[in-house]
Amino acid sequence: MFKKFKDKLKEDGDRALAWTNTNPLWPPQNLTPATHAAIQNGQLALLKAPSYLGDLLPQPEAGHWRCRTHANCRDSSIMTNLPMYSVYWDSPLNTQRPKTIYFELKVTGIGRGGSSLEEADAGIAVGFVAPPYPTFRLPGWERASLGVHGDDGRKYVNDPWGGVDFTTAFAPGEIVGIGITYSVPKNPPSYEQTQQGRLMDIDVFFTRNGKKEGGWDGNEELDVRSEGGNTGLRGECDLFPAIGVFGGVDFDVFFHPSQWLYRPW
């Protein structure tokens, strides 16, 4: 059984790599003023991935979604219809102002009776991706994506190999958040850093129940196994919120600032 599981993981990983190799990153989209204003107001819709088995239900308040997956839901990433970070509108290289993107998720049920994601055969991950992204993979596993996974508390940045220890597993009733702040570098980048694509300061942060629990430098050097490094996450691509799931989970997603416990600005 374990060998079969490992073979399936490798098969999915190989399929994702082939997918990203044939689907290059999209260039930034030139959004209309009305579309950009809607994004700032949290008017983002969740899109159901082909592998997602469950419900995505918009609530009366803009930016609030209630979601429930079936117990046999396979690895899936659900993303928004619009980017939260737009290169043309938000890049500090254009505006000379920092830009923070952020959303929260409340875990309301796990594994159809489980007490924590660590114990249940189910999982939730929160993160961001640059499109296009293989939606049969969780955020953080593939190119131009990052995520914090609630079943093991590990962070993933373009890393399908197990991630890095970061926090503890998510539990029912908890509200977690993921954010990124892009800003003009405090110190001008060196020639070497410019050649490496380091154009901005990047602060990735994670919150739990309204308090910042940890974070990392988005420019940090990644393991050599993360082919492509942080390409797509340096502020050069539009970024979309992504929620990864597998198994039976219940959760609410909040995109409007008035609904957040944590205040990122």
**Bridge partners, 214 (sequence order):** 206
Task: Give the pLDDT confidence score for residue 44 in this predicted structure.
Answer: 98
* Residues 92 and 200 sit within 8 Å (Cβ to Cβ): yes
Whether 183 maps to a domain, the answer reads yes
**Bridge partners, 183 (sequence order):** 201
Task: Give the pLDDT confidence score for residue 29 in this predicted structure.
Answer: 97
Task: Give the pLDDT confidence score for residue 123 in this predicted structure.
Answer: 95
* Residues 101 and 179 sit within 8 Å (Cβ to Cβ): yes
* Residues 208 and 169 sit within 8 Å (Cβ to Cβ): no
Dig out the tokens for 257 from the structure: 């600032």
- Enclosing domain of residue 254: 1-259
Roughly how many angstroms between the first and final C-alpha of the chain, as a whole number? 48
Task: Give the pLDDT confidence score for residue 249 in this predicted structure.
Answer: 97
Whether 44 maps to a domain, the answer reads yes
Whether 36 maps to a domain, the answer reads yes
- 108: CATH: 2.60.120.920
Q: How far is it, in rounded angstroms, from Cα 24 to Cα 246?
A: 26
Q: Evaluate the omega torsion of the peptide bond into residue 132 and state whether it is cis, within 30 degrees of 0.
A: yes
Each residue of 49-61: b (16+ CB within 10 Å) or e?
bebbbbebeeeee
* Residues 234 and 197 sit within 8 Å (Cβ to Cβ): yes
The total number of structural domains that make up the chain: 1
Task: Give the pLDDT confidence score for residue 101 in this predicted structure.
Answer: 99
Whether 265 maps to a domain, the answer reads no
pLDDT tens, position by position, for the chain (265 residues)? 434 344 567 789 999 999 999 999 999 999 999 999 999 999 999 999 999 999 999 999 999 999 999 999 999 999 999 999 999 999 999 999 999 999 999 999 988 655 566 667 899 999 999 999 999 999 999 999 999 999 999 999 999 999 999 999 999 999 999 999 999 998 876 666 665 566 899 999 999 999 999 999 999 877 666 777 899 999 999 999 999 999 999 999 999 999 999 999 8
Task: Give the pLDDT confidence score for residue 1 in this predicted structure.
Answer: 40
pTM of the model: 0.93
Whether 264 maps to a domain, the answer reads no
Whether 28 maps to a domain, the answer reads yes
